[in-house]
Amino acid sequence: MPDANNLSITEADALMRAGKLTAVQLAEACLARVNAREAEVRAWVHVNADEVLAQARAADREPRRSALHGIPVGIKDIIDVAGMPAEYGSPIYAGHKAQTDAACVAAFKKAGALIMGKTVTTEFAMRHPNKTRNPLNLAHTPGGSSSGSAAGVADGMMPLALGTQTGGSVLRPSSYCGVVGFKPTFNIINRVGVKPNSESLDTVGLIARCVEDIALALPAITECAAPVVAAVSAPRIALCRAFEWKDAEPASVAAVEAAAAVLSRAGAKVTQIQLPPAFDAMSDAHAAINDYEAFRALSHEIRTAPEKLSPSLRPRLPRWAARTVAQYTEAQQNVADCQRLLRDVFRDVDAFLVPSAPGEAPLGLDSTGEAIFNRVWTALHVPAITLPGHTGPKGLPVGVQLVGAFGDDYALLATAAWAQPRLR
């Protein structure tokens, strides 16, 4: 089955259960795609065909453990996989290998997933670009910091990948590459074994090609059964023009407004919402928390190998170091206040509709774009998902973002699953 690499997890699982597809066949198709495209896309730090096929043969000898049994998964290279490179996108860790599995990787192994390899990350999952290109146009960035994960899924190298988000590092590259990126509620996916960036913000996320695949992967990685969620027929969606709306490019404005119109015609109750004034300080609060925590998370690297930090990271260190405890605690209080306000807002709304990114993937590989439409929701710890469907003037995808209430991940996924086919 040479085109098996383009199957969704849902489709592959059904074929495997029917005896029409094996884990080896799926792995071989994904590896063939890697062989055909990796020299151009550059999504991987490590992928070893012998390792992958050995896992696949073992999976085929066992009863199916879950819908992820025999499904190849890419792992962002700030997430540890025992015996595989763990270089974190930095020359400081060149040749370093992890000794143990991150908790999320261990959960996927328990579910029977195939750990295909390590995908490219920006330096410490921050801003300095790495080698990955956008598979839809190699002259453009794939976004970051989960660059290889988004590019690999978009190019058919694997159906599922892990990323992480501290600002917009799952949703933005997913938007740029035209796939589905999901940042769950903060901490429902365990972060042990993930290289820290900002402990109050870092969130492990999932990247796939359809919402249904995210819904299959989430209970496996959390090791918690999915709750029963009522079928969605007329979701309440609020178009929100907060947080840097003025910086949205025409393509992103068009994507959001077109999505609002399409979903309204399909039966959604679409309204517009203006958040209380307290939310105006949230972008600054995210910056203060990120600066304060990132400086301390990199204490070892700053002290022992400052010359190996990138030229884009080093100039930011004085600002990070200047953040005070008072600024940090004030920012945390601002977040807590807005989290309380948000609970009231979500009593009448199922999801916010907002941009996923400023626009199409920028031209060039010197930048991974801006997280201005993601970082506030990351700071608020609420689930968010980006859905493809719109195309900008350069022919590249422009996603839209749905944001849900804290802890209502499966309700958001149900709304997104209703919305995705209508946005195509």
Candidates 146, 147, 169, 252; catalytic one: 169
Torsion of CA 132, 92, 194, 12, to 10 degrees: 30
The residue among 167, 191, 217, 193 whose CA lies nearest residue 357 is: 167
Q: How far is residue 208's CA from residue 219's CA, in Å, rounded to a whole number?
A: 15
Candidates 76, 109, 183, 195; catalytic one: 76
Is residue 76 part of the annotated active site? The answer reads yes
Q: How far is residue 260's CA from residue 213's CA, in Å, rounded to a whole number?
A: 24
Q: Please, are residues 227 and 407 in contact by the beta-carbon 8 Å criterion?
A: no
CA atoms within 13 A on the CB side of 285: 24
Beta bridge partners, 353, equal: 239, 402
String of DSSP letters for 51-75: HHHHHHHHHHTS---STTTT-EEEE
Name the E strands within 129-255: 160-165, 180-183, 203-208, 236-240
Is residue 147 part of the annotated active site? The answer reads no
Count the helices and strands in the chain (H runs, E runs).
Answer: 14, 11
Q: How far is residue 407's CA from residue 424's CA, in Å, rounded to a whole number?
A: 27
> How large is the C-alpha radius of gyration of the chain?
20
Q: How far is residue 362's CA from residue 251's CA, in Å, rounded to a whole number?
A: 12
Candidates 90, 145, 149, 252; catalytic one: 145
Beta bridge partners, 387, equal: 400
- Which sequence positions are flagged as catalytic? 76, 145, 169
